[in-house]
Amino acid sequence: MSLGYYDWLVKVIVLGDSGVGKTNILTQFCDSKFSQNYTATIGVDFKIKILNVQDKKIKLQIWDTAGQERFRNITQTYYKGAYGIIFVYSLIDRNSFNNVEGWIKSILESTTDEVCSILVGNKLDSQDRRVQTAEGEKLAQKYNMPFIETSALENKNIQDIFDRLGQNLKIRLENEGQKVSNNIHTQSGQFKLNQEVNQTEQPTSSCNSC
Amino acid sequence: MGNQALCQHDRTESMLKAEYQIRQRKVTQVNEAVKLDLEQEHKQSLIPTIYQNEQQQTSCLHDWLESLHESVLITQINLNCDASTKFLSEIDEEEEIDQTKQSLIDTQEIFEYKKSYPYCNSNLDMVIINFYILKKNEFKIKLIMGPPKQRIRWSCWQLMAYTPKFHIQSDGLSFVEQDQKYAKAIRKDIHRTVTSNEIKYFETGEGQKDLEWVLLKLSKLFPKLGYCQGMNFLVGFTLIINNKQTDQSLQLLAQMMVNPKYLLYYIYSDEMPLVKLLEFICINEIKMKIPDLFNHIYLKLEVQNEIWITKLIMTLFLYNFHINNVCRFWDYLLATSIFDISDIICSLIDLNRYEILNMEDLHQFIQWFDSYQKKELDNLQIDKLIQNCNQFKQKKNKINQYALHFCILHPMRHPLIQQIAENYENLTKMKEFIKKDIFSC
């Protein structure tokens, strides 16, 4: 089980059009698996993984959302309280790239909190590229977020998504932690400082805790 | 005294033997009429199961065939003579009490049925219709207990889904002007629907082709609906159950979309109004009938509907359960209504109450819930689950009350929910609303 030691518990959501590979990215990251046979996500799926960032352990509670537009009213309720957001598009689907800004705007509309985001162009393994690297970089720059191209199929750069996101989350959480220590009760309750610090359990590694 | 006992024993034995012979004769007679024996073996093998009990299945089949005997006789009379009384147009309106009177289907009504289901005109279908009309309650109980053959199941489902006087014409739909947006979305999902390697029909790609065809036709039939993820699971499933009959899948689902008992259209339409109402009903039913589980699941574990109930509703259990188990859930829902999905959900958690109450976090709940994807419940387990639904069954007028309550809490509600609140028990008004809402420009 995932009840080992961690420093922070953080909610992360994965957004993007249907069929861009959100579930495959998560399954590769959390379970080291890839399957051509995953069913389309209905509603919201959930995974847990502990990420080591330098001397800290961040427990990621990752919400994998359905990409079809009609599910927006369901998935939007999950935006609240998210500390990290992974925006995914497919390098072989121009529309999915064009729609990224829509996803970013929907986040901006529904939350006033500062979130750590990353832009991911998936399906790097395919020969039929429709979105150039420079375009992804430009978009990421516009919204001031890191950018990475990945292949869930070949497990290329998947860990990097979470490492880079983790770095930014750690900086933010440490800043928040300072604020919290000045003001014991956070009003938002949107992230939790580790509630198991006082337990006697041995810390677990980031790899075996899912 | 001893001789008397012996005579009694002989008499009982001979009576039993006679009864057995009568039963066998009935079974043979029905079998000849509906030609079930001609069912090819490969039809059953579309869904591999690890729980095959042939003796039990044969006994169940004979039981069904015996029940159909009277209906076979009536169908034969009806087809040969012009004797008739009434029915079919009143299927939904009738009280659910077994009719003791002898009633025959009006020939004209059979034509109406055939018109609505142009591909469903076998003797078996007619016999099933007769059985339902004669013994509505027994029919539903038998359906809930699970028909022994997919052909019988499919006939029952078609009859249950049938919406009287609601003709859905699909023959003239061409792909020429198809909405590319939906076609593209459908194509993205046809490989992500039936992913089991055990079902050859989908492994070879034939299933994907049929799935795409039915989904495209559905999106043409209901242009305001188009395509929504979740519909793909339903189509894939029906194609497996009816052995690749694309037209019949299309008809069944189209009927279920508009039938006031199932209203599937509103699960997938914009804003998903029926999903919201069903979630509302489920939560309240759990809260009222099993409050300890409600407190644990929703307050302690902080489980949200979207990770379990939404999936169950939007795929009618197909996302999370083995296909053979889903057959039984559909038997139950088709014999009752879409609103009885809450009975199954309550029954499921009630039977797993010990395990759930011992869970400490959301992750454990999700692991438990996801574990159903990987296993097939055996017959005993699924029978128990279905039987346990009885204690959670809600009365029909409760649906109106829930819808009304929902309307009070949500001023911006969808007109469907308002309609259910006001007219759920008035089928004519419900049908008028549906027709206007779905098909008017």
Q: Do A46 and B363 touch (CB under 8 A)?
A: yes
pLDDT at A156 over 90: yes
**Residue of A18, A43, A46 lying closest to B310 (CB–CB):** A43
Q: Do B188 and A18 touch (CB under 8 A)?
A: yes
Would you call B412 an interface residue with chain A, using a CB distance cutoff of 8 Å? no
Tell me the pLDDT tens digit for each residue of B99-147. Answer: 444 444 455 555 665 665 555 567 788 788 878 878 889 999 999 999 8
- What whole-number distance in Å separates Cα of residue B253 and Cα of residue B274? 16
Q: Which residues of A touch B230 (CB under 8 A)?
A: 42
Residue B39's pLDDT is 52
Q: Backbone phi, then psi, for A49, in 5-degree steps?
A: -155, 140
Q: What percent of chain A has pLDDT over 70?
A: 82
Q: Do A1 and B314 touch (CB under 8 A)?
A: no
Residue B2's pLDDT is 55
Residue A117's pLDDT is 95
Tell me which residues of chain B, numbers 219 to 238, contact chain A at a CB-CB cutoff of 8 Å: 228-230, 232-233
pLDDT tier, A4 (very low <50, low <70, confident <90, very high otherwise): confident
Q: Do A46 and B366 touch (CB under 8 A)?
A: yes
Question: What pairs with residue A65 in β-bridges?
Answer: A44
- Between A36 and A68, the more confident residue is A68
Distance from CA of B266 to the nearest CA of A (A): 12
Would you call B193 an interface residue with chain A, using a CB distance cutoff of 8 Å? yes
Q: What percent of chain A has pLDDT over 90?
A: 60
* Mean pLDDT, rounded, for A43-72: 92
Cβ atoms of A47 and A22 within 8 Å: the answer is: no
- What whole-number distance in Å separates Cα of residue A62 and Cα of residue A72? 17
Q: Do B314 and A43 touch (CB under 8 A)?
A: yes
Cβ atoms of A119 and A40 within 8 Å: the answer is: no
ipTM for this model: 0.82
Would you call B187 an interface residue with chain A, using a CB distance cutoff of 8 Å? no
B301 Cβ neighbours under 8 A, 6+ residues apart:
B359, B360, B361, B362, B364, B365
Q: Do A42 and B366 touch (CB under 8 A)?
A: no
When mean pLDDT is compared across A54-58, A89-93, A194-198, B75-79, the lowest value belongs to A194-198
Q: Which residues of A touch B366 (CB under 8 A)?
A: 46
* Mean pLDDT, rounded, for A187-198: 38
Output the tens digit of pLDDT for each of chain B's 441 residues. 556 665 667 778 888 888 888 878 877 877 777 776 555 544 544 566 666 667 777 777 777 777 777 777 766 655 544 333 333 334 444 444 444 444 444 555 556 656 655 555 677 887 888 788 788 899 999 999 998 888 899 999 998 998 776 667 766 666 555 567 788 899 999 988 987 777 888 878 899 999 999 999 999 899 899 999 999 999 999 999 998 889 889 989 999 999 999 999 999 999 999 999 999 999 999 999 999 999 999 999 999 999 999 999 999 999 999 999 999 999 999 999 999 999 999 999 999 999 999 999 999 999 999 999 888 999 899 999 999 999 999 888 899 999 999 999 998 889 999 999 998 888 889 999 999 999 886
Q: Do A68 and B307 touch (CB under 8 A)?
A: no
- What whole-number distance in Å separates Cα of residue A132 and Cα of residue B405? 52
Tell me the pLDDT tens digit for each residue of A164-185. Answer: 999 999 998 888 776 655 554 4
Distance from CA of B319 to the nearest CA of A (A): 8
Q: Do B363 and A2 touch (CB under 8 A)?
A: yes
Q: Do B310 and A42 touch (CB under 8 A)?
A: yes
**Residue of B192, B270, B307 lying closest to A40 (CB–CB):** B192
pLDDT at A154 over 90: yes
Q: How many angstroms separate the most distant Cα atoms in chain A?
A: 53
Give, in order, the Cα–Cα distances in Å from B90 to each of A190, B86, B427.
55, 9, 11
Q: Do A44 and B304 touch (CB under 8 A)?
A: yes
Domains of chain B: 2-161 (no CATH), 177-264 (1.10.8.270), 273-394 (1.10.472.80)
**Residue of B189, B197, B306 lying closest to A44 (CB–CB):** B306
- What whole-number distance in Å separates Cα of residue A123 and Cα of residue A30? 18
Residue B96's pLDDT is 47
Q: Which residues of A touch B303 (CB under 8 A)?
A: none
